[in-house]
Amino acid sequence: MSNLIISEKVSSAAKRDIIDLNAKINAFNSGETPEESFRKFRLTRGVYGQRQPGVQMIRIKLPYGRITADQLVRIADTSDKFATGNLHATTRQDIQLHFVKLSDSPQLWADLEDAGITLKEACGNTIRNVTASSVAGIDPDEPFDVTPLTHSIFTYFLRNPINQDMGRKFKIAVSSSEKDSALAFIHDVGLIAKLGVNAKGETVKGFKVLIGGGLGAQPFSAQTAFEFLEEQDVIPFIEALLRVFDRHGERTRRHKARMKFLLNDMGLEGMMEKVAEERTAVKNKVFAIPEDLFGTNEAESITHAARPSVSEAYVLENAAQNGIADLDTFKKWLQTNTFEQKQKGWYAVQLRVLLGDMSSDTARSLADIVRQYAADDIRVTVNQGYILRFVKGEDLVPIYKELNQLGLANPGFDSTMDITTCPGTDTCNLAISSSYGITRALEDVMKDEFPEMIYNEDIKIKISGCMNGCGQHNASNIGFHGSSIKNGKLVLPALQVLLGGGFTGDGIGLIGDKVIKVPTKRGPEALRTIFSDYEANAFDGEYFNQYYQRQTKNYFFQLLKPIADLTTLQDDDYRDWDHDELFKTEIGVGECASVMVDLVATTITEGQEKLSLAKENYELGIWADAIYHAYNVLITGAKGLLMTKDVNTNTQYGIINDFEANFGQEFKYETPAQFELADKAETPFRSLAFSINKFEPTEEFATYFLEKADQFLNFVRDTRGAQLMDNSELVLQELSFGKDS
């Protein structure tokens, strides 16, 4: 988009990002930037390729799912202007817009930033959206509000040099209580709020800290790093952990590049030893979390002073007097979609949204309802719904009537009937089969045959279009992921059935077992069979996961085996949900999981960009960030030269060692005595790179380290130039990329 309009309200950092995206799109369209390099760049700006060629999915990063009414309207308006008029809520509390033209993405971003909404680091090898319990701040079970800590994690690591070029994505979740409603156990870092006692004997805020969880084809439950870590120590710990992940994490074998595999290789004790080694170099040794996060806490405490609670009988009588004819449905909604907050006399209203999709017109009407009846603090939930906060008891009836007119008053929020699902083959490159179609079919089964499931909060059902787990199927009591089955020369769409994941009756999170694969059109029969068996044979009060563990995986395999019988296939079994044509697998290249090939010239350019960022942070006096950007100059430059010798190294430590073996004798520099390493056997490049965590991030060390990074990048350019001297055309082409503009 040539006439890019950016308002004065947009921060200078965001403005530069938007202009940079626009410039990179132009360079890509003109052929100046290779596709692989451009893909890597745009992903970290929330621009993600769809299954359909020529259009993008835009992922809007909403930390802990919080948006205001005005922001919801801005997203709706943006969807109308640039996308399809649909807002898709995700399991990471983001909102996604689909079918956006690449050329429109900078202006779309600028329009959102005008309302305080970012796309930065929503995709790519970065810290993804930081999720949290959607009930944080109003949860009757919480020891304290985790919103300030969550928001601080988001702001601290946004544009942080540590997570700009990691080997893989990194996910953080914060739960408000031991119920773990944010699913801490499946995250790279999971935090669960609790109170503890510090060294002075004072009661303080803190967290149980879990690390190394993850889903996908090889799911892992997170391990406990700390039973209690004081709140002020949480961000420094995460920073140190990220430094370890960045330096030691896999980078070549993408399927092995997540934190869970590094933890598995190092072991918990080894990982924590490496984390301790990084504490010297982190920016802050402690980080106090501000209480008055939005500058409104005092006003909030006055506005939301305790009120008289209302009884169910009072609300039902009020409903009858105000013309609600279907009192049975209203009662179900009242019982399943509302609760009294920890603030006495105030109520939360939860919106169950089928497939997570909401039209822009509905979103604007919802914003009006929020302005009239609720606090200006909407939260997108991890089960793809929304929650409204601080509703008065006497307003439950009128807000229901208005929500009902919008189709947003379906009872059964976060119940068994409220299925979580990813978009599947509707838009995703990686999806194997339809997620939306089977979700509708399963919800119809429950509505028609098991209506009591709107009251069941024990059994969660989650669906993904493939094994990668965007729908979090591994972390559900009953999970399904898209697959296929070959039958002779034909292929039919299938569902992998997983059981026993999610939470047990005692609050422990588990990864589900793969039990059996069934034709996707038989998914409803599989669910019907599971429910009927559970109802017939479970003990009184026995949770589903307890029943599953008692009966064992083989019991359920035998139970579902007749449904998987391919000798009884019908013609319809070869067609996916929502499709008339015969099924065939059409899996594209998934952009979060694909291999990114960095060409030498563009790699040198990246090194120069990182050096510029290092110098900017140095000028601002942010020594730790300046040093880390400069460290990335070393890694990027070394990687570029290693590519010229076809050396493909899978970790930063490997890059450092391989560079030393191939080029180390050529790179020389002077080291001041105060920055010499104790190990005199270290060679120059290794010594420089490994000093990153040996010294405090002072101005003096930053000055030294940036000077050497600048010197190293010049060495890289000179070395590459010498390699290409026999081909003057390539010399001009490549070296022009690496010069200062």
For residue range 148-177, what is the model confidence (pLDDT) as tens digits? Answer: 999 999 999 999 999 988 888 999 999 999
414-419 average pLDDT score? 94
CATH number of 420-574: 3.30.413.10
- pLDDT in the model for residue 145: 96
Q: Tokens for 683?
A: 């060679």
CA–CA gap between residue 47 and residue 26 (Å, rounded)? 15
Element counts in the chain: helices (H) and strands (E)? 22, 22
Percentage of the chain modeled with pLDDT above 70? 93
Question: Alpha helices, DSSP H only, in 457-543?
Answer: 523-537
Residue appearing with tokens 């914003």: 367
What letter would DSSP give residue 538?
P
CA–CA gap between residue 464 and residue 459 (Å, rounded)? 17
46-75 average pLDDT score? 93
44 sits in which H/E element: none
**pLDDT averaged over every residue in the chain:** 90
Q: At 484, which amino acid appears?
A: S
**Which of 536, 523, 535, 529 lies closest to 556, judged by CA?**
529
- pLDDT in the model for residue 393: 97
Instruction: Tell me how far CA of residue 461 lies from CA of 83, 259, 295, 333, 515, in angstroms.
Output: 29, 26, 39, 20, 15
- pLDDT in the model for residue 589: 46
Most confident of 390-404, 490-504, 602-616, 680-694: 390-404
DSSP 194-229: EEEE-TTS-EEEEEEEEE--B-TTS-BPPEEEEEEE
Whether the per-residue pLDDT at 60 is higher than 50: the answer is yes
CA–CA gap between residue 199 and residue 358 (Å, rounded)? 50
SS3 288: coil
Express each pLDDT in 422-462 by its tens digit. Answer: 877 777 767 788 888 999 999 999 999 999 999 999 999 99
Instruction: Tell me how far CA of residue 125 lies from CA of 122, 139, 244, 595, in angstroms.
Output: 9, 32, 15, 12
Give 384's contacts (C-beta < 8 A, 6+ positions apart).
89, 90, 91, 353, 355, 356, 420, 421
Whether the per-residue pLDDT at 298 is higher than 50: the answer is no
- pLDDT in the model for residue 208: 97
668-677 average pLDDT score? 85
More confident residue, 578 or 342: 342
User: Binning pLDDT at 50, 70 and 90, where does residue 585 land?
Assistant: low
Express each pLDDT in 316-371 by its tens digit. Answer: 999 999 999 999 999 999 999 999 999 999 999 999 999 899 999 999 999 999 99
14-31 average pLDDT score? 92
What letter would DSSP give residue 480?
E
Q: So where are the chain's domains?
A: 12-113, 131-278, 300-405, 420-574, 600-738
Q: Tokens for 412?
A: 């059964």
Would the CATH topology of 131-278 be identical to that of 420-574? yes
Instruction: Tell me how far CA of residue 554 lies from CA of 91, 128, 497, 557, 558, in angstroms.
Output: 30, 37, 13, 5, 6
Q: Tokens for 159?
A: 């544009």
- pLDDT in the model for residue 209: 97
Q: Are 257 and 124 in contact (CB under 8 A)?
A: no
- pLDDT in the model for residue 741: 32
Q: Which of 164-178, 463-477, 566-580, 727-741 has the lowest mean pLDDT?
A: 727-741
483-511 average pLDDT score? 86
- pLDDT in the model for residue 738: 40
Domain 600-738, second-level architecture = Up-down Bundle (1.20)
**Which of 693, 636, 678, 595 lies closest to 241, judged by CA?**
693
CATH number of 12-113: 3.90.480.20
Give 427's contacts (C-beta < 8 A, 6+ positions apart).
50, 51, 52, 57, 98
Whether the per-residue pLDDT at 728 is higher than 60: the answer is no
CA–CA gap between residue 72 and residue 74 (Å, rounded)? 5
Q: Are 480 and 523 in contact (CB under 8 A)?
A: yes
Question: Within 13 Å, how many C-alpha atoms sit on residue 374's CB side?
Answer: 28
CATH number of 131-278: 3.30.413.10
Q: Tokens for 350?
A: 């939860």
- pLDDT in the model for residue 432: 82
More confident residue, 160 or 299: 160
Q: Are 739 and 609 in contact (CB under 8 A)?
A: no
- pLDDT in the model for residue 595: 32
Whether the per-residue pLDDT at 303 is higher than 80: the answer is no
SS3 494: strand
CATH number of 300-405: 3.90.480.20
- pLDDT in the model for residue 732: 44
- pLDDT in the model for residue 583: 82
User: Binning pLDDT at 50, 70 and 90, where does residue 7 land?
Assistant: very high
